[in-house]
Amino acid sequence: MKIQLIEIAHARSGDKGDTGNVGVIARRPEYYSLLVKYLTVEKVKEHFRGICNGNVELYELPNLGALNFLLHKSLGGGGTISLKNDAQGKTLSSVMLRMELEIEEKHLNSEH
Amino acid sequence: MKHSIRIASGQGFWGDLQTAPLDQVRKGPIDYMMMDFLAEVTMSILQKQKMKDSKLGYAKDLIPLFEEILPDVVNKNITVITNGGGVNPLACRDAIFSVAKKLGIKGLKIGVVLGDDILNEIDSFAARGIAFDNMESDAKLASIRSNLISANVYFGAFPIVEALQQGAQIVITGRTTDTGLTLAPMIYEFGWQKSDWDKLAAGTVAGHILECGGQASGGNFSAEWKSVPDLAHIGFPIAEAHPDGRVVITKHENTGGLVSEATVKEQLLYEIGNPKNYITPDCIADFTSIRLKELGSNRVEVSGVKGRAATETYKVSMAYFDGYTSFSTLTYAWPDALEKAKKADEILRTRLKDLNLSFDEIRTEYLGFDSCFGPLAKSSGEMNEVVMRIGVRSHDKNSVERFGKEIAPLILTGPPSVTGFAGGRPKPSEVIAYWPSLIPKTAVTPKVVVEEI
């Protein structure tokens, strides 16, 4: 079944120079394994094509039920150099949460 | 030793909610208030102010703020710690002393942390083999040396601890880390040692949660933003710290906002890199060790934090002049709003090209359509209106100035139903760029001065 990431996760994003960071947090503890399984570096890199012009790095924080993505070369040079309206990557979280994922139904419980 | 102390967040950045520090000292009990004023390029802005007037160079907002809160601070014995001293902490201190005099307050001790400003010593450091390569791009300092505006070492919590030990009730620093402002009172009150890595990491994590003000207590909260109560009167976060490193994040009663596991998690994930290596001058904190537990309404316990030994280097924050930018916007209305805006962009670019101007970059975004989503933006039928936002960047000031003269003519010589041009021709702004690098800790020594009025 197709779901949108926002149904199972929330997120906050920000900047470090020209790198955007997007923290993606499972809405329920049991959704964390879904994030790990479906929200891969490859999937995120593909989703952000045209926005992220560098590597994508992924770090896992199982204690918080969260993943941290670093999207390099995503902010038009970053900081004061950037000509982007969102030079600080504050809305990269929205871009992330809009992603559609094709997941196996058995992974979602009936309460979803 | 106290069983716990309450450390309040008063400002998350320079220009943050003006009533927040007032609420923190008035709406409930606190022992300490930390206020973070410094973003990455703030020091260069302050450096420029100081060059024009040797009495400036700090966060001027602090002075009217202290006029309001100083009586509360003194009467309730609250200690205030801030990095708003910028590039001139001594002038900041003197201005606060003047406020104290005016209010008839005596016996106030203010501590100042100095020694972070190394702008005048860069070349002598370089001669001793400290390269100051850009730690993100590996570029050499020589490429920007002549355009350097400011250079400041990020100090940690321990110079503040020294000021507290000398009895300071207000501590003013320059480029101290955001997290150090929160960690320092814990070290001081609980007698933590320089090698208590887990505890230092716990205090650092608390500092990360407090350093962006309301972002930990319901502001900018993506999970359930509609359910956050009374954001108009948001209570900024407070860390209740314990000697064993356990911290409870909360806020004053009868304030708006929300402290929950989810709001704290979002702030923990904000602007971090590798979560196992959160590096500060004081320690390396491991964010994958953090345990969160909701203890009740607006109370979240943070525990289990592990830390490792600090590195041998301080981070240095430099800023340099890097050309000019200018921005302008025009609003296009239905019908064909987006098509019109795109046509206007095409016409403008043709004219700029005909003028043989020199730009490093020209960027056009369409607000209401793609400025956040870029190529992922979805067309969803007719648009009521769209804002064309165009920015240029160049090292040639004349080109940027000329760009500003090409916007208004589009209104009468371009596509129809256009408005929103106000405020005159856009002017060039200087670009102050950021240059992060490292310096061995042995090369610089923080200096602490405490004086009483």
User: What type of residue is B320?
Assistant: Y
Q: If pLDDT is split at 50, 70 and 90, which confidence band does A105 have? A: confident
pLDDT of residue B213: 97
User: What are the residue boundaries of the structural domains of chain A, listed by start?
Assistant: 2-11+33-79+86-104
| B76 in reach of chain A (CB within 8 A) | no
Within 10 Å of residue B384's Cβ, how many Cβ atoms? 8
Transcribe B343-367 into DSSP letters: HHHHHHHHHHHHTT---SEEEEEEE
Q: Is the pLDDT of residue B186 over 50?
A: yes
Q: Which residue of B has its CA nearest to A10?
A: B223
Q: Is the pLDDT of residue B177 over 80?
A: yes
What is the rounded distance in angstroms from the CA atom of residue A76 to the CA atom of residue B39?
19
Average pLDDT of the segment spanning B79-100? 97
Residue B367 forms beta bridges with which residues? B387
Query: Using the 8-state DSSP alphabet, how is residue B145 labeled?
Result: G
A68 close to A14: Cβ distance less than 8 angstroms:
no
Residue A60, CA distances (Å) to A12, A65, B230, B328 in order: 15, 8, 33, 41
Q: If pLDDT is split at 50, 70 and 90, which confidence band does A109 have? A: low
What is the rounded distance in angstroms from the CA atom of residue A96 to the CA atom of residue A51?
11
- Asked if B265's CB is within 8 angstroms of A64's CB, the reply is yes
- The closest of B238, B246, B243, B244 to B264, measured between CA atoms, is B238
Residue with tokens 């020589």: B142
Q: Is the pLDDT of residue B172 over 60?
A: yes
- Do you find a cis peptide bond into B281, omega within 30 degrees of 0? no
Average confidence score pLDDT of chain B: 96
Q: Which residue of A has its CA nearest to B286?
A: A61
- Asked if B363's CB is within 8 angstroms of A76's CB, the reply is yes
Q: Is the pLDDT of residue B271 over 60?
A: yes
| A89 in reach of chain B (CB within 8 A) | no
User: What are the residue boundaries of the structural domains of chain B, listed by start?
Assistant: 5-116+154-311, 321-434
Residue with tokens 């923990």: B268
A58: its two tokens: 């992924």
Architecture field, domain B321-434: 2-Layer Sandwich (3.30)
**Contacts with B434 from chain A: Cβ below 8 Å:** 17, 79-80
| B269 in reach of chain A (CB within 8 A) | yes
Average pLDDT of the segment spanning B175-197? 98
Q: What percent of chain A has pLDDT over 90?
A: 88
Average pLDDT of the segment spanning B101-123? 96
pLDDT in tens, B407-427: 999 999 999 999 988 778 999
**Contacts with B431 from chain A: Cβ below 8 Å:** 80-81
| A86 in reach of chain B (CB within 8 A) | yes
What is the rounded distance in angstroms from the CA atom of residue B120 to the CA atom of residue B151?
9
Average confidence score pLDDT of chain A: 94
B312 close to B421: Cβ distance less than 8 angstroms:
no
* Closest CB from B41, B265, B288 relative to A25: B265
**Contacts with A21 from chain B: Cβ below 8 Å:** 269-273
- Asked if B376's CB is within 8 angstroms of A98's CB, the reply is yes
Q: Which of residues 208-247 of B touch A (CB under 8 A)?
A: 220, 222-224
pLDDT of residue B40: 77
What is the rounded distance in angstroms from the CA atom of residue B156 to the CA atom of residue B122?
21
Q: Which of residues 109-168 of B touch A (CB under 8 A)?
A: 136
Q: What percent of chain B has pLDDT over 90?
A: 94
pLDDT in tens, B247-258: 999 999 999 999
* Closest CB from B265, B267, B432 relative to A80: B432
pLDDT of residue A56: 98
Q: If pLDDT is split at 50, 70 and 90, which confidence band does B380 have? A: confident
B414 close to B344: Cβ distance less than 8 angstroms:
yes
- The closest of B134, B136, B183 to B161, measured between CA atoms, is B183
- Asked if A23's CB is within 8 angstroms of B266's CB, the reply is yes
The strand pair at B299-303 and B306-308 is best described as: unpaired
Q: Is the pLDDT of residue B260 over 90?
A: yes
User: What type of residue is B443?
Assistant: A
Average pLDDT of the segment spanning A89-110? 89
- Asked if A50's CB is within 8 angstroms of B266's CB, the reply is no
* Closest CB from A16, A18, A85 relative to B389: A85
pLDDT of residue B381: 82
| A37 in reach of chain B (CB within 8 A) | no
B189: its two tokens: 């009150």
Average pLDDT of the segment spanning A76-86? 92
pLDDT of residue A112: 47
Q: What percent of chain B has pLDDT over 70?
A: 100
Residue B124, CA distances (Å) to B129, B138, B140 in order: 9, 21, 16
| B434 in reach of chain A (CB within 8 A) | yes
- Asked if A66's CB is within 8 angstroms of B288's CB, the reply is no
Non-local (6+) Cβ contacts of A34 within 8 A are A8, A26, A103, A107, A108
pLDDT of residue A11: 98
User: What type of residue is A3?
Assistant: I
| B421 in reach of chain A (CB within 8 A) | no
In terms of pLDDT, which residue wins out, A109 or B371?
A: B371
User: What type of residue is B359?
Assistant: F
Conformation bin of residue B43: beta by default, left when phi > 0, alpha when psi is -120 to 50: alpha
- Asked if A47's CB is within 8 angstroms of B376's CB, the reply is yes
Q: Is the pLDDT of residue A111 over 70?
A: no
Looking at CA atoms only, how far is residue B437 from chain A in angstroms?
Answer: 13
Q: Is the pLDDT of residue B453 over 90?
A: no
pLDDT of residue B379: 80
**Contacts with B289 from chain A: Cβ below 8 Å:** 63
Non-local (6+) Cβ contacts of B374 within 8 A are A50, A51, A95
Q: If pLDDT is split at 50, 70 and 90, which confidence band does B320 have? A: very high
- Asked if B41's CB is within 8 angstroms of A79's CB, the reply is yes
- Asked if A21's CB is within 8 angstroms of B273's CB, the reply is yes
Q: What are phi and psi of A104, to 5 degrees?
A: -75, 135
* First-to-final CA distance of chain B: 28
Query: Using the 8-state DSSP alphabet, how is residue B176 labeled?
Result: B
**Contacts with B329 from chain A: Cβ below 8 Å:** none
Average pLDDT of the segment spanning B386-401? 98
| A3 in reach of chain B (CB within 8 A) | no
* First-to-final CA distance of chain A: 12
- ipTM of predicted assembly, 2 dp: 0.96
Looking at CA atoms only, how far is residue B392 from chain A in angstroms?
Answer: 7
Q: Is the dihedral of CA B201, B206, B212, B216 positive or negative?
A: positive
What is the rounded distance in angstroms from the CA atom of residue A9 to the CA atom of residue A28?
8
pLDDT in tens, B277-317: 999 999 999 999 999 999 999 999 999 999 999 999 999 99
- Asked if B276's CB is within 8 angstroms of A84's CB, the reply is no
